């Protein structure tokens, strides 16, 4: 089943916040992550899909059909929230079977289906237990089994791992992926955690201020962000403000850098993006984009080091990464510099 948002805007009554002109498509069986910081409009997108909010502009379609006016219970969406939201008066099995009961499935069938789902999330032996006796990770597995048991058209996950400890979060992240693939559920996953978004999703929508900035595969978001604003959400980078002075050359105030500028014209204000792992330490004297300077702060991460390198005639350090540290100079292959339009507002 597919999910489409076509130019959807929504403002909370009496407030100025919500989402603005959101266009998104989730293809059948795809897992699309909606990533952005707190208050960026992620949950609003989910609530609109579920039918929990009224009065939006634009078009929302599930499986090609406009869902305007279709109530929550008829949209056939499965939902999992950060807080497990299980029914405390029902045991594990009855929680999972709940959606099936609502749909009038007979007792034997719903028991078999619920047990099958519990088997898949590794909790079959807990079927008769009270949910309050389960750990956070187990409760979230039950919530996932419950959301998928009635084979929803769309699965909506709102920061499902945010309340869990780091170890269990990692494990459940993999389990969600496996289960989602096995069930083939079209899924919208909301998260503020970039590791979660990049490792789980087929594609990621980066949202900020209620707007979608870019929808792309994790690889393309990282390698080809459309703006430095997006780049800041995905991995580490240094951003150098500059001006194109000739085709293939950018003046970044402390150096002239060779880079691909073909979409710009001389005189254009730009920002040059550098990923830390693309820095070559202590290159030969004739290397292109060679910057002499000095190494500053070093952060050790075992498999790699992240360190600052301050080019001569610049106060601002560039972030570098690698096992070998630069002493006196770095070089950057022009292919690895990404020249982007200067952003209207600078923020970190
Ligand atoms: P996120 O899930 O990305 O943290 P939300 O979608 O919940 O963000 O919220 C988007 C914006 O709408 C925020 O500015 C938030 O403060 C505002 N908002 C959310 N819920 C309500 C509400 N019920 N009434 C008024 N404003 C709200
Ligand atoms: Mg939210």
Would the CB of 39 count as within 6 Å of ligand 1? yes
| Ligand with smallest separation from the Cα of 45 | 1
Would the CB of 285 count as within 6 Å of ligand 1? no
Helix (H, G, I), strand (E, B) or coil at 10: strand
Torsion of CA 128, 178, 173, 102, to 10 degrees: -40
Which residue segments constitute the domains of the chain, with CATH numbers given? Answer: 3-228 (3.40.50.300), 236-347 (no CATH)
d(CA 43, ligand 1 centre) in Å? 7
d(CA 191, ligand 2 centre) in Å? 8
Q: What percent of the chain has pLDDT over 90?
A: 91
pLDDT tens, residue by residue, 245-263: 999 999 999 999 999 999 9
Distances (CA, A) of 215 to 71, 192, 208, 221, 234: 28, 15, 12, 8, 12
pLDDT tens, residue by residue, 330-342: 999 999 999 999 9
d(CA 196, ligand 2 centre) in Å? 15
Would the CB of 152 count as within 6 Å of ligand 1? no
CB atoms within 10 A of CB 184: 12
Asked if residues 336 and 278 have their Cβ atoms less than 8 Å apart, the reply is: yes
Q: Rounded mean pLDDT of 195-224?
A: 96
Give nearest CA residue, ligand 1 atom 21.
12
Q: Using the predicted structure, report yes or no on whether residue 313 has a pLDDT greater than 90.
A: no
Asked if residues 54 and 47 have their Cβ atoms less than 8 Å apart, the reply is: no
The separation between the first and the last C-alpha atoms of the chain, rounded to the nearest angstrom, is 38
Q: Using the predicted structure, report yes or no on whether residue 148 has a pLDDT greater than 90.
A: yes
Would the CB of 36 count as within 6 Å of ligand 1? yes
Would the CB of 191 count as within 6 Å of ligand 1? no
Q: Rounded mean pLDDT of 83-94?
A: 91
User: Per this entry, what is the length of the chain?
Assistant: 348
pLDDT at 348 (0 to 100): 36
Q: Rounded mean pLDDT of 227-250?
A: 95
pLDDT at 208 (0 to 100): 97
Would the CB of 49 count as within 6 Å of ligand 1? no
Distances (CA, A) of 218 to 28, 32, 197, 206, 243: 18, 10, 8, 11, 29
Confidence of residue 347 (pLDDT cuts 50, 70, 90): very low
Helix (H, G, I), strand (E, B) or coil at 321: strand
pLDDT at 344 (0 to 100): 65
CA pair distance 184, 95, nearest whole angstrom:
22
Q: What are the residues whose beta carbons fall under 8 Å from the beta carbon of 44, sequence distance 6 or more?
A: 10, 18, 19, 53, 210
pLDDT at 345 (0 to 100): 53
Please report the atom of ligand 1 found closest to the CA of residue 207: 3
pLDDT at 258 (0 to 100): 98
| Ligand with smallest separation from the Cα of 35 | 1
Partners of 306 in the beta sheet?
A: 299, 321
Q: What are the residues whose beta carbons fall under 8 Å from the beta carbon of 272, sequence distance 6 or more?
A: 239, 240, 241, 242, 250, 252, 257, 259, 337, 338, 339, 340
Q: DSSP assignment, residue 343?
A: P
Would the CB of 12 count as within 6 Å of ligand 1? yes
| Ligand with smallest separation from the Cα of 34 | 1
- Burial letters 29-51, b for 16+ CB under 10 A, else e: ebbbbbbbeeebbbbbbbbbbbb
Please report the atom of ligand 1 found closest to the CA of residue 159: 2
pLDDT at 102 (0 to 100): 87
Task: Indicate the helix (H) or strand (E) that contains 175.
Answer: helix 166-183
Please report the atom of ligand 1 found closest to the CA of residue 19: 10
d(CA 81, ligand 2 centre) in Å? 9
Please report the atom of ligand 1 found closest to the CA of residue 38: 4
Q: Using the predicted structure, report yes or no on whether residue 101 has a pLDDT greater than 70.
A: yes
Task: Indicate the helix (H) or strand (E) that contains 186.
Answer: strand 186-191
pLDDT at 346 (0 to 100): 47
d(CA 18, ligand 1 centre) in Å? 6
Q: What percent of the chain has pLDDT over 70?
A: 99
pLDDT at 82 (0 to 100): 87
The model's pTM is 0.91
d(CA 207, ligand 2 centre) in Å? 12
Q: Using the predicted structure, report yes or no on whether residue 125 has a pLDDT greater than 90.
A: yes
Partners of 296 in the beta sheet?
A: none
pLDDT at 315 (0 to 100): 86
Q: Classify residue 150 as exposed, middle or buried by CB count within 10 Å of its CB (0-12, 13-18, 19+).
A: buried
Give nearest CA residue, ligand 1 atom 22.
12
d(CA 53, ligand 2 centre) in Å? 14
d(CA 69, ligand 2 centre) in Å? 23
């Amino acid at each position: 089943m597919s999910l489409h948002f076509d130019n959807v805007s929504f403002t909370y009554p009496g407030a100025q916040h919500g989402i603005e002109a959101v266009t998104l498509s989730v293809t059948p069986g795809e897992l699309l992550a909606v990533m952005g910081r707190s208050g960026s409009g992620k949950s609003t997108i989910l609530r609109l899909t579920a039918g929990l909010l009224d009065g939006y502009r634009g078009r929302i379609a599930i499986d090609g059909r406009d869902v305007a006016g279709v109530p929550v219970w008829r949209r056939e969406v499965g939902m999992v929230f950060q807080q497990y939201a299980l029914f405390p008066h029902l045991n594990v099995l009855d929680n999972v079977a709940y959606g099936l009961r609502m749909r009038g499935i007979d007792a034997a069938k719903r028991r078999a289906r619920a047990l099958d789902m519990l088997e898949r999330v590794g909790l079959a032996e807990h079927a008769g237990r009270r949910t309050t006796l389960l750990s956070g990770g187990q409760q979230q597995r039950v919530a996932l089994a419950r959301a998928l048991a009635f084979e929803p058209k769309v699965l909506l996950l709102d920061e499902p791992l945010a309340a869990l400890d780091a170890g269990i979060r990692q494990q459940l992240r993999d389990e969600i992926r496996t289960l989602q693939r096995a069930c083939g559920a079209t899924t919208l996953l909301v998260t503020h955690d970039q590791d979660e978004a990049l490792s789980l999703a087929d594609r990621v929508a980066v949202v900020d201020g209620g707007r979608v900035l870019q929808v792309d595969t994790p690889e393309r978001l990282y390698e080809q962000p459309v703006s430095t604003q997006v780049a800041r959400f995905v991995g580490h980078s240094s951003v150098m403000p500059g001006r194109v002075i000739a085709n293939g050359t950018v003046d970044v105030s402390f150096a002239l850098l060779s880079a691909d500028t073909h979409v710009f014209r001389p005189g254009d204000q730009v920002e040059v993006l550098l990923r830390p792992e693309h820095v070559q330490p202590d290159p030969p004297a004739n290397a292109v984009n060679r910057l002499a300077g000095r190494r500053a702060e070093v952060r050790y991460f075992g498999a790699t080091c992240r360190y600052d390198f301050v080019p001569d005639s610049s106060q601002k350090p560039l972030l570098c990464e690698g096992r070998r540290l630069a002493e006196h100079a770095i070089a950057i292959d022009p292919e690895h510099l990404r020249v982007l339009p200067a952003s209207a507002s600078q923020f970190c």
